[in-house]
Structure 1
């Protein structure tokens, strides 16, 4: 339970988020028994707008951003969200991300006025985090540290999950990709309080696969959120790139909407689980527009 003062602060934060056109995204039945949050409807195009705003707002309210530069390691969407929010709030930011992040994402980060630092693709987000660690120790930076910052998970507890419940009640299972662990643990915390029997299923890339925004967080040394809340995850489903992209193609041909690669992975996992659970909630973290160069079926 939280006190009335803390609750009032959270409601003020959520109201500020909504004024920036973040949150209150559509929650739609994408096929029988599967409901998805359409998160590319957030202002900067992804589900990462929510925790980025929550983390930055909380630091600003505490006075911790005065004359300092925000820095974060990202695989793409969080960096884009931070750069856009920082620009709107008149703050400086540095985004560190692997060089194989989508070119569209990198261009948008630069257009927001952020400094962009690229790290070798082979070291993944782990390599980017290492660079941030080194820079923070030597400069006037505030590291949001999305992989360990509990505000990341809180953003989904107080907004994403609540919006789902208000729209469609409760599911039998929730399926979400695991990157930092913020999305799945925030949603899990909310719904497990509602009904501990709701099944929480995480989606991770199959060994050797690269799916933007997802990683095997349990084997990472940067897994603060997973260490704290990971026991709420009941099961893991592994999805490879081909399966995710085939789902994107199928969905695009049926609806005309181009979903992102992690969205395709979530939908693949949800469809494989549909008969077992009946009613499933998931998220579409972003659209496929940034990944057009990787989707061969669009070139045919």
Structure 2
């Protein structure tokens, strides 16, 4: 086990969950929630702050500011607290209550945007609030996860390398599409070093990341109301869109086996199983899915019967016919 002197030094994750017995397929989850930021976003946060330090952008009076739906906000809160930096996170009403409390506990000033932008939705409103803050006070430094190359570079240099080293015979990699950092970093690495590996992007239904009109989304994390600037459609082999109802069912099916994962992970796993059902009927492919987070921050949403019933209807809470099922509604092996 590593010995660390700062929370953002604990980044490398070699923990995988073998879902073969659960799904009947050879699929492994790369668990990125076992760090002090609780998600894959700690890699991004540490890389962006390190890049700002290297470029001489941090002054004694600098206030870091970032737009985030939750996980990056917590990750930057961890890094900022560790380095003695002041941080303001601009989030929106979809942010989980637990996540808000975490950021504030770490000393972050949290601004919650409630009114969506007419064109860009809540994401557009968050970005505009950040721009206003930066225009009004030159102490603010926007790290801008959406366009900062340190976002995808962090995953090109670490996440993808870890997966390739652990699974040299990998066939398919499933990665969620949010800002595009994890997806682009992994896709670029495998294009250059193991082109036989198919990289499949998993997005939330209602996201405009890969075109189309944006729709309502209640689970923070994956997806965007406007295409993420960093995303490169040409770098991925396919795209899967997952309804939030399916993401919830997948999360709950996994939790019934003792694996409490977050909404983003439920989306990625649901998308991976859907794609494999359509493209690998003979169950020959070995695949890895990146699990961005754990489930403790979703106890009041995804894992709340009242919240699910109110927003998606009680049919989402009903088990599939036949009782105990896998995350994709197939009988356990």
TM-score range, shorter chain: 0.7 to 0.9
1:210 aligned onto 2:218: yes
Q: Does the alignment pair 1:257 with 2:254? A: no
1:130 corresponds to:
128
Question: For 1:23-42, what aligned pairs fall within 5 Å after superposition?
Answer: 23-31=12-20, 32-42=25-35
Q: Which residue of 2 aligns with 1:65?
A: 58
| Match in the other structure for 2:77 | 83
Answer with 1 or 2: which has the greater Rg: 2
Instruction: Tell me which moved more, 190-199 or 33-42.
Output: 190-199
Question: Equivalent of 1:243, from 229, 242, 246?
Answer: 246
For residues 221-245 of structure 1, the C-alpha deviation after alignment (integer angstroms, 9 at most, x for no partner) is xx3212xx33202221111111001
CA distance in 1, matches of 2:7, 2:37: 13
Pairwise mapping of residues 1-300 of structure 1 onto structure 2 (< 5 A)? 20-31=9-20, 32-67=25-60, 68-120=62-114, 122=116, 123-139=121-137, 140-207=139-206, 208-216=216-224, 219-220=226-227, 223-226=228-231, 229-254=232-257, 256-275=258-277, 276-277=279-280, 278-296=285-303
Distance 2:190 2:26 in 1: 18
Cα separation, 1, equivalents of 2:169 and 2:149? 24
Q: Secondary structure at the match of 1:211?
A: coil
Report if the CA contact (8 A) 1:25-1:42 is conserved: no
**Matched residue SS, 1:63:** coil
Shift in Å, 1:161: 0.7
Gaps of 5+ in 1: 1-14
- TM-superposed deviation, 1:92: 0.7
- SS of the aligned residue for 2:299 comes to helix
Query: Secondary structure at the residue paired with 1:281?
Result: strand
Q: In structure 1, what is the Cα distance between the partners aligned to 2:188 and 2:5? A: 23
C-alpha displacement of 1:279:
1.5
- The TM-score normalised by the length of structure 1 is 0.87
CA shift in 2, pair 1:21/1:176, >3 Å: same
1:86–1:297 Cα change, 3 Å? closer
Aligned 8 A contact 1:149 1:224 in 2: no
User: Distance between the aligned counterparts of 1:45 and 1:128, measured in 2?
Assistant: 22
Q: Distance in 1 between matches of 2:152 and 2:6?
A: 16
User: Unmatched 5+ residue regions in structure 2?
Assistant: 207-215, 307-316, 318-333
Q: Deviations over 1:193-216 (max 9, x none)?
A: 123232221111213343321114
Contact 2:66–2:73 (Cα < 8 Å) also in 1: yes
Judge conservation of contact 2:26–2:287 (CA < 8 Å) in 1.
Answer: yes
Match of 1:3 in 2: none
Residue pair 2:8, 2:36 contacting (<8 A) in 1 also:
no
Matched length: 280
* Contact preservation (8 Å) 1:173, 1:280: yes
How far did 1:183 drift? 0.7
Q: Structure 1 179/161 Cα, relative in aligned 2: closer, same or farther at 3 Å?
A: same
Equivalent residues of 1:100, 1:121 under 8 A apart: no
CA, structure 1 residues 298+163, in 2 after alignment: closer, same or farther (shift >3 Å)? farther
